[in-house]
Amino acid sequence: MSVSRDLLGLVARDLTVTGPAGPIVTRMDLAVRPGETVALVGESGSGKSMTAQAMTGLLPRGVTATGIVRLNDTEVDLANGPDVLAGLRGKRISLLLQNPFTSLSPVHRCGDQIVAALPATLRRSSDEIQRRLQEVDLPARVARQYPFELSGGMRQRVALAASLASDPEVLIGDEPTTALDVTTQREVLDLLARIQRERSMALLLITHDLGVARERADRILVMYAGRLMETGTGVNVFVSPQHPYTAGLRNSDPPLDRRVVRLPAVAGSVPRPWDIKAGCAFAARCDRADDHCFAVEPELGGVGVGVVGVGGEPIAQVACWKPLATDEAHHVEPAAPVVDISHPAPLVTISHLVKQFSRDAPPALASVSMVIGVGEAVGIVGESGSGKTTLARILIGLEYATSGTIDWSIAGVPARRAQIVFQDPTSALNPAMAIGAALIEALRAGGRDSSEMPALLDLVGLPAEYARRRPSSLSGGEQQRVAIARALAPNPKLLICDEPVSSLDVSVQAQILNLLNELVGRLGLALLFITHDLAVVRQMARRVYVMSNGEVVESGDTEAILTAPQHAYTRTLFASVPGRRAERAGTPGEIDE
Amino acid sequence: MKRPPMTPVICAIPLAVVAICVVGARWIVPDATEQDILFGVAPAGSPGHRFGTDQLGRDILQLAIAGARSAVVGPIFIALGSMLLGLLLGSLAGYLGGWVDLLLTKYADLLLALPTTLIALVVAGLIDGGYWVTVLVLVVLFSPTDIRLIRGSVLAQSSRPYIESAKVLGLGKSRIMFRHILPNVMPIALATMLLNVAFALVAMSSLSFLGLGVGPGVPDWGRQLSDGRDLLGRNSAAVIVPGVMIIATAAAINLLGDWIQERLEQRARQR
Amino acid sequence: MSRYFGRGTVLRFTLVRLAATALLLVAVSFVVFALLHLTPGDPARNLLGPRVSSPEILASIRAQYHLDDPFLSQYFHWLGGVLHGDFGTSIRSNTAVTTLLADRVVLTAQLAAYAFVLTAVVAIPVGIFAASRAGSAVDRTINVGAIIGVGAPSYAVGLLLLYVFGVNLDVFPVYGSGDGFLDRIWHLSLPAITLALGIGALVFKLTRTAVLGELDQHYVSFAVSRGLSPQQVRSMVLRNAMIPVVTSLGLVFAFLFGGTILVEITFALQGIGALLASSVTFKDIPVVQAITLLTAAVIALTALAVDLFYFAADPRVRKRAAA
């Protein structure tokens, strides 16, 4: 990484974004030098996307920004309105969006869209189009194709080529790989890194994925509720975080390399930036906060003598009245390596399950066999299209298999055998029904009495007065707790969870995972945990099945497989997890590395 | 896009006036239909007749007030009947699927292949059964749109995870339909029903304009406009008064219904 | 475009749609034919109309119209005539139905075309304009106007316009359809404007919704962020929005037919719509059958044209058809 010392790259000072409800981003400063990759990390509502939109003049109607944006030698005052940035867009600073499925016009050809920003003579040149396709490793035929004919990863490459068309000096990637499969993610991020090197661009990477930030960024900025909490290098931020939020975020992320007894979770949910009237934005969820923290908002200040950047400004900074000392970052206790010699009796045996949706397409499931034992926690890992969701739906009775058998060792109504928790809790709850009523209905369906409803709420950690509320007034994490409670109401022997935490904020994910582990242990449930995330499955399941393209490619003890994966696909999956390499270099608790 | 909350208030005023006319015509204008052929046509501004009289000597304004009932009551029944059919057949089609769905969809498609006015004219005209028969005919003709709407809404809800969760819980089909799907479909159904009143108003009055539906001598806006056409120039108020009343009533209902629909869409987007 | 997909796909698509259209028309023709028997009263009596009746005359009617034959054979007999262009004889005027229609079709077609052009030329640009200024006072005002326009009955609007422009201001003629090209346009202006107000409001709403829908899409903000000029972005949006807009124009065609009936009566124009209305009142069933079937055919063919347009304009539809 060559950092040119004469050009400053992208610098933003005092960036404030205000929406109709109040401030969304408050006094942000950031700098990205040419050739440097800076990651802007934050959960939903942190204001990271708004920051990017403010710097490119793309804020939605009703939202305004103030502050100074400087691009190498050009300085712009945002108070003059977003139009001042019109001349810079595309030519000097460009934005790559998250969703490759909607970033491109569906009725124009890819080649034409890539060169659309170029002057007319170049637009007609097929050589120019080919040159740009080659830069993003796309075959020549893509020029004449329409976006819907390409996969997500290919579409994102087209979008990348399009955003680079006018050769900008700065590229902002707003969650550019979030919508992609893990394996495709790695390819696209590698491509981004290569292009950045070749063009000596400044790259601002916006992400909620800590692993991505760790692995790809030279510097990391942590945002929370529209404010910068901490900045520093990967080592600063993840090995010795200063801010309690950063530490909490880092600890909430399930580690890939070992199983832990309990994920240290951050209590509460992410607030809306404009709801915080005074003091530190994180104070309400911080276990170190005192009266001063609630009263006065801390400023971003440098810590650590000697850690200085190029222009003399300190690289590592934190905005906190009571920052953590280097050794104070919570250690996460690894679970004792479990030698599981128990072979529980099978609860359900799946034999040679096949599911064919239509005659032309390949089968969604091609002869899958599995066993789930009584009270056992089993995981299914796979990317989209692996068939994992289809399997769950057949198991729960929402679909019928084309052939194969499912044998249950217990008799009884299907509703009391297995229940399911879906990925999106908002659409999994009836918006017109109060929570208490929904739970009572579920209890009655399971043959239990409605008087058990308060106990059910308590079981998932929700206060009794929530019974009267409607789902729309609850946060995502709380909604998922309700969904879990409802699933447990009929006392099922097996709880199926299909990506139950993928839609939730990182700091809330850990809460739900802990809750599930605790419930499984307390109630003696069997658990079928479906996910694409290897780190999560490690925390949740004793045995795991790895699926790809409708088949089980590898299965066995989770620890064994994740320590030494055998099958090529599992190895690719493992290697693609972002931050895996960096993780080994800086995990808390690993003293002798 | 923010609408000022004034909209429902502004719309409510003409609707309230119409409601009063419908309910209270008997007492407000008891002599509306009394003819005085010898008196004949009087232009607007004549003493005792602010808006003049028509060929049969009837006061224009009084006739228009009396005509509100015929113009409005039938359409309300049409909207109600059509939505009831829509709810019944639409939920059946959406939830049961299979050949029931296919049959109902094809029936709806066939009926929608021709413009409503044309079919209404042909059927109501050939049957020629009077006001309530026409209402019945229009209920049948309006129902395909509502069936399609409810069917679509039920289908959209059925594939959502909360319905699937209900199925997995083992809840019965009728319980899922009545307790889960329909409560979420009702807001759209009600908003559409309001808009249907406006469509039915236009349809019924168009038919009476063409001479169908109401009997002769029964006060009705459409009939009044048809009679008033020949009076253009002699007493143009014969056309203006009922014309404005019809347009204003239809506009008020449409604006209100549109406002409600937008509110519903906003709420749906927030979720 | 023909480089992209083989001739086979276009042909197959067209044939399938043609077959579906033909099937629909057959179904409609069956219902239309059945109108004679569905009308209350004895079919022979109805066909006789107001003329003097006697058992012999009734018997000859029964023979003429094959009323004693089984239902299906009556249908095929009638259908055969229809396919040869013979719709029978009008009860009222005792002339061939086809002749009656031929006299009037031109006027109605001119009125419909006039209204259609007015709509397309005014409503679509206004819709695009309103979408680009969405939420502003101008947009809201136009919207209110459009909602009123959609809901207002065409005959009431027509009569009011007649009053304002015909009687009061004396700009347009009150009755008649005029002779000669320019005179015809002058006479048809008020009726066409009346029609266009109602339909135009609908097209305006659909256009505005379509363009707004596209403006909300991510590809628009991505295009802006890449530095595309406002004109380039606009043409990209319109290319996408064009699809639902043209489809809406096709939909509107169906409404047009309902509207011409009322407008022709209001303005005393001797078109097909007015003929239908009077034929219904008179129970002149052969005429009613002919007009209904013709209308269905025109609407069905328009729907077919819209489908073909969709096929040409949206590459995703082509892909699905080729699969």
Tens digit of each residue's pLDDT (9 = 90 or more) over C247-274? 888 878 777 877 889 999 988 888 899 9
**Contact between chains at A445 and B271 (C-beta distance less than 8 A):** no
pLDDT at A434: 94
Q: What are the b/e assignments for B5-28, b being 16+ CB within 10 Å?
A: eebeeebeebbebbeebbeebeee
What is the domain extent for residue B22? Answer: 12-270
Nearest Cα to Cα of residue A155 among A195, A117, A100, A108: A100
Instruction: Assess whether pLDDT exceeds 80 at residue A10.
Output: yes
Instruction: Assess whether pLDDT exceeds 90 at residue B73.
Output: yes
Provide, as residue numbers in chain B, all residues whose Cβ is less than 8 Å from the Cβ of C108: none
Average of per-residue pLDDT across B158-171: 91
B2 domain-assigned: no
The angle subtended at Cα A583 by Cα A528 and Cα A238, nearest 5°, is 110
Tell me: the pLDDT tens digits for B201-229?
999 999 999 888 888 778 899 988 988 88
pLDDT classification of B3: cutoffs 50, 70, 90: low
For A498, the closest chain B residue by CA position comes to: B161
Tell me: the pLDDT tens digits for C192-215?
999 999 889 989 998 998 999 898
pLDDT classification of A496: cutoffs 50, 70, 90: very high
Residue with tokens 């931020």, as numbered in its chain: A237
Tell me: the pLDDT tens digits for A413-457?
888 899 999 999 999 999 989 999 999 999 999 889 989 999 999
Nearest Cα to Cα of residue C110 among C172, C183, C173, C160: C183
Give the count of domains, chain B.
1
pLDDT classification of C1: cutoffs 50, 70, 90: very low
Instruction: Give the separation between CA A226 and CA A242, rounded to whole angstroms.
Output: 18
A163 reaches C (C-beta below 8 A): yes
DSSP letter string, C129-176: HHHHTTTSHHHHHHHHHHHHHHHS-HHHHHHHHIIIIIIIS--S-SS-
pLDDT at A304: 52
The chains found to touch B (3+ Cβ pairs under 8 angstroms) are: A, C
**Contact between chains at A415 and B179 (C-beta distance less than 8 A):** no
What is the SS3 string spanning A149-168?
HCCHHHHHHHHHHHHCCCCC
CB pairs under 8 A between A and B: 60
**Contact between chains at B170 and A413 (C-beta distance less than 8 A):** yes
Instruction: Give the separation between CA A175 and CA A159, rounded to whole angstroms.
Output: 13
Provide, as residue numbers in chain C, all residues whose Cβ is less than 8 Å from the Cβ of B128: 40
Tell me: the pLDDT tens digits for A128-138?
899 999 999 99
Instruction: Give the separation between CA A50 and CA A73, rounded to whole angstroms.
Output: 24
Q: What are phi and psi of A408, to 5 degrees?
A: -100, 140
B36 reaches A (C-beta below 8 A): no
pLDDT classification of A305: cutoffs 50, 70, 90: very low
pLDDT classification of A113: cutoffs 50, 70, 90: very high
pLDDT classification of B2: cutoffs 50, 70, 90: low
pLDDT classification of A590: cutoffs 50, 70, 90: very low
Helix (H, G, I), strand (E, B) or coil at A231: strand
For C314, the closest chain A residue by CA position comes to: A107
Tell me: the pLDDT tens digits for A93-106?
999 988 888 899 99
B228 domain-assigned: yes
CB atoms within 10 A of CB A13: 14
**Contact between chains at C155 and B206 (C-beta distance less than 8 A):** yes
pLDDT at C322: 65
B3 domain-assigned: no
**Contact between chains at B126 and C148 (C-beta distance less than 8 A):** no
- Shortest CA gap A484–chain B (Å): 11
Helix (H, G, I), strand (E, B) or coil at A407: strand
H helix intervals, A200-306: 210-216, 234, 244-252, 291-295
Q: Which of B168, B180, B183 sits opposite A396 (nearest CB)?
A: B168
A396 reaches B (C-beta below 8 A): yes
pLDDT at A588: 39
A52 reaches C (C-beta below 8 A): no
Question: What percentage of chain A has pLDDT greater than the value 70?
Answer: 91
Q: pLDDT higher for B268 or A391?
A: A391
Average of per-residue pLDDT across A561-572: 89
**Contact between chains at B251 and C152 (C-beta distance less than 8 A):** yes
pLDDT classification of A586: cutoffs 50, 70, 90: very low
Instruction: Assess whether pLDDT exceeds 60 at residue A120.
Output: yes
Helix-helix angle C7-38:C71-83, to 10 degrees: 120
B180 reaches A (C-beta below 8 A): yes
B173 reaches A (C-beta below 8 A): no
B169 reaches A (C-beta below 8 A): yes
Instruction: Assess whether pLDDT exceeds 90 at residue C10.
Output: no
pLDDT at A2: 43
Instruction: Give the separation between CA B147 and CA B153, rounded to whole angstroms.
Output: 10
Instruction: Assess whether pLDDT exceeds 80 at residue B75.
Output: yes
**Contact between chains at C156 and B247 (C-beta distance less than 8 A):** yes
Instruction: Assess whether pLDDT exceeds 80 at residue A199.
Output: yes
The chains found to touch C (3+ Cβ pairs under 8 angstroms) are: A, B
B74 domain-assigned: yes
Tell me: the pLDDT tens digits for C272-293?
999 998 888 888 888 888 888 8
Instruction: Assess whether pLDDT exceeds 60 at residue A18.
Output: yes
Tell me: the pLDDT tens digits for A147-193?
988 988 899 999 999 999 988 999 999 999 888 888 888 899 999 99
Window 228-247 of B: residues touching C by CB (8 A cutoff) are 228-229, 232-233, 236, 239-240, 242-244, 246-247
Q: Which of B121, B126, B225 sits opposite C35 (nearest CB)?
A: B126
B86 domain-assigned: yes
Tell me: the pLDDT tens digits for C108-123?
988 999 999 999 999 9
**Both structure tokens of A425:** 């809790």
Question: What percentage of chain C has pLDDT greater than the value 70?
Answer: 95
ipTM, two decimals: 0.84
pLDDT classification of B98: cutoffs 50, 70, 90: confident
Instruction: Assess whether pLDDT exceeds 50 at residue A589.
Output: no
Q: Which of A61, A94, A105 sits opposite C240 (nearest CB)?
A: A105
Average of per-residue pLDDT across A199-206: 92
B177 domain-assigned: yes
For C261, the closest chain B residue by CA position comes to: B118
Q: pLDDT higher for C64 or A471?
A: A471
pLDDT at B96: 80
Average of per-residue pLDDT across C164-171: 76
Q: What is the mean pLDDT of chain B?
A: 86
**Contact between chains at C295 and B255 (C-beta distance less than 8 A):** no
At B151, which CATH number?
A: 1.10.3720.10
The chains found to touch A (3+ Cβ pairs under 8 angstroms) are: B, C
Q: What is the mean pLDDT of chain C?
A: 84
pLDDT at A1: 41
C296 reaches B (C-beta below 8 A): yes
What is the SS3 string spanning C204-264?
HHHHHHHHHHHHCCHHHHHHHHCCCCHHHHHHHHHHHHHHHHHHHHHHHHHHHHHHHHHHH
**Both structure tokens of A230:** 């901490």
Tell me: the pLDDT tens digits for A160-169?
999 999 889 9
Instruction: Assess whether pLDDT exceeds 60 at residue C190.
Output: yes
Q: What is the mean pLDDT of chain A?
A: 86
For C253, the closest chain B residue by CA position comes to: B115
Provide, as residue numbers in chain C, all residues whose Cβ is less than 8 Å from the Cβ of B199: 151
pLDDT classification of C100: cutoffs 50, 70, 90: confident
CB pairs under 8 A between B and C: 143
Instruction: Assess whether pLDDT exceeds 70 at residue A127.
Output: yes
A518 reaches B (C-beta below 8 A): no
Instruction: Give the separation between CA B227 and CA B240, rounded to whole angstroms.
Output: 12
B6 domain-assigned: no
Q: What are the b/e assignments for A236-263, b being 16+ CB within 10 Å?
A: bbbbbbbbbbbbbbbbbbbbbebbbeeb
- By DSSP bridging, strand A202-207 and strand A219-224 are unpaired
Q: Which of C147, C259, C280 sits opposite B254 (nearest CB)?
A: C147
pLDDT at A261: 76
pLDDT at B135: 92
B7 domain-assigned: no
Tell me: the pLDDT tens digits for A20-32?
888 999 888 888 9
**Contact between chains at C228 and A116 (C-beta distance less than 8 A):** yes
Q: What size, in residues, is chain A?
A: 593
pLDDT classification of A313: cutoffs 50, 70, 90: low
pLDDT at B118: 85
For B252, the closest chain C residue by CA position comes to: C148
Listed range (A324-328, B96-100, B142-146) with the worst mean pLDDT: A324-328
